[in-house]
Structures are given as structure tokens and as C-alpha cells.
Amino acid sequence: MEEKLRAFLKNQMPAAADLSIRGLQRRPGGASRESWAFEVAWRENGKEFNRSCILRRDPTGSVMEGDQTNRSLEFRVLKALESTPVPAPKAYWLDSAGKWLERPSLIMELVGGQPTPGPTFPVGESPELRAKIGARFVTILAELHRADWQALDLAFLGAPSVGTEPAARQVDLWEMAYRNRFEVHPILEETFCWLRRNLPATDRIALVHGDYRSGNYLYDETGRITAMLDWETAHLGDPMEDLGWASMKFWNGAGLAVGLMPRAELLRRYENESGKAVDEKRVFFYEVLGNAKMAAIALTGARAFSEGTTSHMLHGIMGLLVPRLLEDLVDQLRL
């Protein structure tokens, strides 16, 4: 792997001399992409350079497939975010087809800060830190949704029209993921029927993160969120989608949305920060879709595990999460 990485970086930086790689190591965490940390140093035009990097590489089998995520998209979104107030790692290099690194990969900045150990802010952390992180979590979301995606050259993501198209696109995407599933779940069949009957209309198109929750940011002890991570499912859509995803009971910690604050407070704070009204019906729709999406993701991982295309144990274990998601759907839809 190190040799391949060196060859790739030499190709990307033909003028670099004495290029060296140190500490290449696969990192734990994350279910969808392989994540490797390393340091790279080189000399160029008489100057010395040193970068701490993260390599994100497509795995052989995962919880998401080509239609739901790709490295080029993530790379371009990260590049675009550099000129916004949204904290995100800098994107350095892209091997979009996996010509150099075996599978599609991107290399980005290793940002300081720690991740939460799971998708919820840890119960044991101090209330003061929780409050600070919670406030930043909402502020960053409002900043993200305020970002001018046209000016940021993000139209390549494919802007849906206002109206029901943003919701319909997401239902299509995740229903297709479910249709490639491992096994059929009649509750999910009913859920997708419900989603199609209840597509909400939006009057605003925004850059949506697609996986906005605890576990996908780094924070420090002062309560600063140093980076939002995992932009692989970013898209243009209804901003209520991120709120619905973050509101899911599945990510609750101690009764708090993503372990940070009560759901009602999350929505109220978002209204204050964004200056836009929150449409609770749309948020609810995206919560339901979120449960179905998460179930499709877990089933995709379980299939990769059972078919032997992944060696990541988490993919198998994720299959065991499906009943909890279905239980939430039964409650939400009163089935």
C-alpha cells in the first residue's frame, strides 16, 4: 500500500523531491470507507513541506454502493467548502478511478480533534461541553444550508426543482438500495409505499450533508467543532432532510437528538440560526425516510458481509440493527 501511495503522490507532484511517507496505518471507525492516516513530507523549489493526511478509499464491499456515494463527488464538495464558514478537511488529491490506489480514493487533511465514539454525543461528557458542541452543531448546519451552491460551483450535484422532487429523488435512491437488498422486509415495503404517498414539497434547495449527526464531526475540549466529516452522501435537496436525519430516535443518546439536545430545541435553534421556519411535517417525513435509509444501509452491509466481499465485522453486526429501525418505523407510521 505504501509503495502505491508513494507512486501516486509522485505522479500528483512531479516537482516534489525526497518524498517520504510515515506512519501509514488504517484507522478504526467508519463503516462505509477505509480510512488510513499518514504523514507525507517532500521538498519543492527549495522549500520543505509536511502534511498530515487521511486517505479515504472505497472498500471491496460496504454499506453503500456506487449510486449512493463516490469519491469524486466528495472531493469536489470538500474543495467547494473551503471557501465557506463550514469547517471541513481540505481536499488534497484524488484517485477517482482507483488507477493508483486499487480503488477510488481521496486524500484529505487530517484535522485535529476527537470524534464521538458513536453516533451520539457521549453521555458522560460535561453539560457545558455538550451545550457548546450543540450550539456549534446547529450553527454549522444553518451555515451549510445557507451556502450558495451555485456560486460554489456545486450544480454538478444535480439540482432538483423545488416542489416534491428533492424528496422523490431521495426515496428513489434509498428504495433502489433496498431493492438490491439482502432480504425483503414487508415493513420496509409498507414504508416506501407511505413515503411515495406523502412526498413533501420544498420551496428551497440547499446543499445537504446527508449524514449530519454526532460521529461525523471532530471536536476539541473547548467546545469547538474542528471539522464536519463524511461528505460522501452530500447532495442538493431539502434542508429539512438533515434535520430529520439528526432527529432520528436511532441516534438518540439519553433522550437527546444525537446526544446533544432535545429534538424540539434542535428545531427551534435551527430556526433562530437560519432565519427559516422549520416545517415539522417535512422533518417527520425525513425522519421516516432516515430510518428506511439506515435500514437499507445496514442491509447492504449485511449482504457484503454474508457474501464475503468485506472483512469488516461491523458490516455483519449492522444487520442486527435492522429490527430496531423497523420498530421505530412501526411506531412512526402506526402500522
Partner 1 sequence: MRPDIGDFLRGVKKSLAEVVFPTLTDPFALEQSAFIMLALDHVLARWDKASHFCREENRGLRAVLAEAAARLSGEAGLPKNAVGLRDRIQDRLRKEEVEDGADRPYESLRDGNACLRELLAELVGAASGEEQNRGARAFMKKQLEREREWVRVGEFVW
Q: Which residues bind partner 1 (CB under 8 A)?
A: 25-29, 118-119, 183-187, 189-190, 193, 312-314, 316-318, 320-324, 326-327, 330, 335
Closer to partner 1 by CB, 113 or 316: give it. Answer: 316
Closer to partner 1 by CB, 84 or 214: give it. Answer: 214
Q: For residue 323, give the C-alpha cell.
A: 429490527
Distance in Å, CB of 177 to partner 1, minimum:
16
Sheet holding 34-44, edge to edge: 17-26, 34-44, 47-57, 105-109, 91-95
Distance in Å, CB of 127 to partner 1, minimum:
22
Distance in Å, CB of 184 to partner 1, minimum:
5
Closer to partner 1 by CB, 28 or 124: give it. Answer: 28
Cell 476539541 found at: 220
Closer to partner 1 by CB, 21 or 321: give it. Answer: 321
Closer to partner 1 by CB, 276 or 324: give it. Answer: 324
What is d(CA 238, CA 164) in angstroms, rounded to the nearest whole number?
9
Closer to partner 1 by CB, 112 or 163: give it. Answer: 112
Q: CB neighbours of 211 closer than 8 A, spacing ≥ 6? A: 230, 232, 233, 245
Closer to partner 1 by CB, 165 or 327: give it. Answer: 327
Distance in Å, CB of 255 to partner 1, minimum:
15
Distance in Å, CB of 36 to partner 1, minimum:
9
Closer to partner 1 by CB, 205 or 325: give it. Answer: 325
Neighbour count for residue 115 (Cβ, 10 Å): 15
Distance in Å, CB of 154 to partner 1, minimum:
30
Neighbour count for residue 265 (Cβ, 10 Å): 14
Q: For residue 192, give the C-alpha cell.
A: 416506501
Distance in Å, CB of 118 to partner 1, minimum:
5
206 and 149 in contact (C-beta within 8 Å)? yes
Distance in Å, CB of 253 to partner 1, minimum:
10
